[in-house]
Amino acid sequence: MPTLNRGSEFRIGRFCPGYICTHRRLPRLKSLLHRLLKLTLITDRCPTSVWKQTMAVFISLFLPLAFSIYAFILLSEFKNTSRTAMKKLVNFTTAILTLFASNIVFSHGVIPVSEPADKDRLIQFPDTKKYKTIVLDPHTHSTFSDGEVWPTIRIGEALKDGLDAIAITEHLEWQPHLADIPHPDRNRAYNIALKANGKNDLIVIPGSEITRNAPASHINALFISDANKLIRNFEPKDPSDTRAYYNAASKWPPQEVVNAANEQGAFLFWNHAWWGQDFPNGIPIVPEFHISNAKNKLIHGIEIANGGSYSEEAFQIGLDLGLTLMGVSDVHGLIDWDYSPDEGGHRPVTLVLAKSRSQASVREALFDGRTVVWFKNLLVGHREHMDELLSASLDVTNASYSGKSKVLSMEIKNVSDVNFQLKNKTDYTFIGDADILEIKQHETSEIRVKTGTRRKRIDLQFEVLNALVKPKQHAEVYLGSKIRVLN
């Protein structure tokens, strides 16, 4: 057997015994493959760069091709090589091909999500004079409880929808995927989502869902520091027995869990209070558990919109108990499945009037109750917060008479996502419109007002038919402007 220069050895002899007769070609091939492999590893560490991703795919395709060519060279030159050696060579080449091909198909990990915002599905509301309007979805799920998607999907959806903040709130006790995805660390979904968010300015809020039967029912806890401290650790005999796991996990009294969450400084809110499992007629009766905790400031909010349903009774409970009003998606599958954003739909959200765009400011605003709920084409909130948002959303951009006309042309600009339904509350009448007007989202609408005589100023009062400040009580908005005369 010829003697090899050890410096040129490719160190695959035990897999490919015939390689020694072409050792002169190997240093050059080794150097090329080494550089390509090194570049592949570099691109794996920089997944957000488009050109590096492209290079990674190219290299991953080129390397197996290079090994295949090398194998054919060996097969053509080593006619005397034993059948066993040739079989090892083919197996080795196949293994290399599989290795790099699998790098394309199966490589994964928590990498930053860079979903571009979709302008056709963005949820957009203006800041008010005093506050930043933060679009928040505080109740979502992933495969780490009973959701159907990985936490990274939640981040991608939030970015597409233009959310400012999101919380992935996994059930602590209800774990139907535990046998397939064991996760003793209950902060795992949050950590994955946070890492996936990367340098995006989306605010990812840590949270969990305390999941019990009535009277406690389901309660979300946001801004927690450690989800593991909200559940008693135990080893289930059969992780696939979801009901047995739930029953065992639920033995810790819910009041103690509520207390533990408050010790972490959490913001707690009562989920879907009208849930049919607890109230078959859809009309919630407030249990003493929630009355007591609301009175003692241990539960701070209540959902009034969840998924595809809105509860007027929950709205009234929130007003009676002084709870922050919340709107949530409670999404388990895909946002696109549940809300059809491509057809103009959107998830329910909580519009938080925060002092700044930060997690601390969002937390402060929630505890202070500064929210408006956006559900379908309906706004729901306390009067003072609703007035703030309406004033920021609607503005008179032009009020003028033209020539000798005494009919006023008035342009109203809407910079929000709401198609406002306005009912005229003044004695003025309009040309071309009845007393009920629609001011479409992100458009400027013209109305022609019969003022009788020329005036220097116009002030109109409208009832906003799709904005509630109490059950069955609509918000009002005043739109006024000085009047110009155009020649």
Label residues 41-52 b or e (16+ Cβ within 10 Å = b): eebbeebeeeeb
Give me the domain span that covers residue 26: 6-106
Q: Which of the four pLDDT bands, split at 50, 70 and 90, describes residue 113?
A: confident
User: Are residues 313 and 461 both part of a single domain?
Assistant: no
- Of these ranges, 35-44, 53-62, 317-326, 336-345, the one predicted with the greatest mean pLDDT is 317-326
CATH number at residue 345: 3.20.20.140
Question: Which of 376, 402, 426 is the C-terminal boundary of a domain?
Answer: 376
Mean pLDDT in residue range 266-275: 96
User: Are residues 63 and 180 both part of a single domain?
Assistant: no
Q: Are 96 and 64 in contact (CB under 8 A)?
A: yes
Average pLDDT of every residue of the chain: 84
User: Are residues 236 and 340 both part of a single domain?
Assistant: yes
- 186: in domain: yes
Inform me whether the pLDDT recorded for 310 exceeds 80: yes
User: Are residues 398 and 441 both part of a single domain?
Assistant: yes
User: What does the pLDDT read at residue 39?
Assistant: 46
- 386: in domain: no
Inform me whether the pLDDT recorded for 58 exceeds 70: no
CATH number at residue 461: 2.60.40
User: Are residues 171 and 206 both part of a single domain?
Assistant: yes
Inform me whether the pLDDT recorded for 410 exceeds 60: yes
User: What does the pLDDT read at residue 239?
Assistant: 77
Residue 331: CB atoms within 10 A of its CB come to: 25
- 217: in domain: yes
Give whole-number Cα distances, 259 to 285, 287, 362, 364, 475, in Å: 23, 18, 22, 19, 37
- 384: in domain: no
Inform me whether the pLDDT recorded for 35 exceeds 90: no
- 431: in domain: yes
Question: Which of 352, 376, 400 is the C-terminal boundary of a domain?
Answer: 376
Question: Which of 350, 376, 402 is the C-terminal boundary of a domain?
Answer: 376
Q: d(Cα 366, Cα 369) in Å, to the nearest integer?
A: 5
Q: Is the pLDDT higher at 217 or at 95?
A: 217
User: Are residues 43 and 179 both part of a single domain?
Assistant: no
User: Are residues 355 and 398 both part of a single domain?
Assistant: no
Inform me whether the pLDDT recorded for 142 exceeds 90: yes
Inform me whether the pLDDT recorded for 92 exceeds 70: no
User: Are residues 136 and 256 both part of a single domain?
Assistant: yes
User: What does the pLDDT read at residue 276?
Assistant: 76
User: Are residues 278 and 398 both part of a single domain?
Assistant: no
- 50: in domain: yes
Inform me whether the pLDDT recorded for 48 exceeds 90: no
User: What does the pLDDT read at residue 104?
Assistant: 41
User: What does the pLDDT read at residue 9?
Assistant: 37
Inform me whether the pLDDT recorded for 32 exceeds 60: no
Q: Is the pLDDT higher at 11 or at 178?
A: 178
- Of these ranges, 22-36, 57-71, 130-144, 225-239, the one predicted with the greatest mean pLDDT is 130-144
User: Are residues 184 and 51 both part of a single domain?
Assistant: no
DSSP 371-424: EEEEETTEEEE-HHHHHHHHHHHEEEEEEEEETT--EEEEEEEE-SS--EEEEE
Q: d(Cα 17, Cα 87) in Å, to the nearest integer?
A: 11
Inform me whether the pLDDT recorded for 180 exceeds 80: yes
Q: d(Cα 294, Cα 36) in Å, to the nearest integer?
A: 62
3-class DSSP assignment, residue 310? strand
User: Are residues 62 and 142 both part of a single domain?
Assistant: no
Inform me whether the pLDDT recorded for 383 exceeds 80: yes
Helices 151-161 and 188-197: angle between axes, nearest 10 degrees: 40
Tokens of 130: 């005093």
- 291: in domain: yes
Q: Which of the four pLDDT bands, split at 50, 70 and 90, describes residue 89?
A: low
- 1: in domain: no
The least confident of 94-98, 242-246, 248-252 is 94-98
Q: Are 211 and 370 in contact (CB under 8 A)?
A: no
Query: Is the dihedral angle over the CA atoms 218, 222, 224, 227 positive or is it negative?
Result: positive
What's the structural domain count of the chain?
3
User: Are residues 141 and 266 both part of a single domain?
Assistant: yes
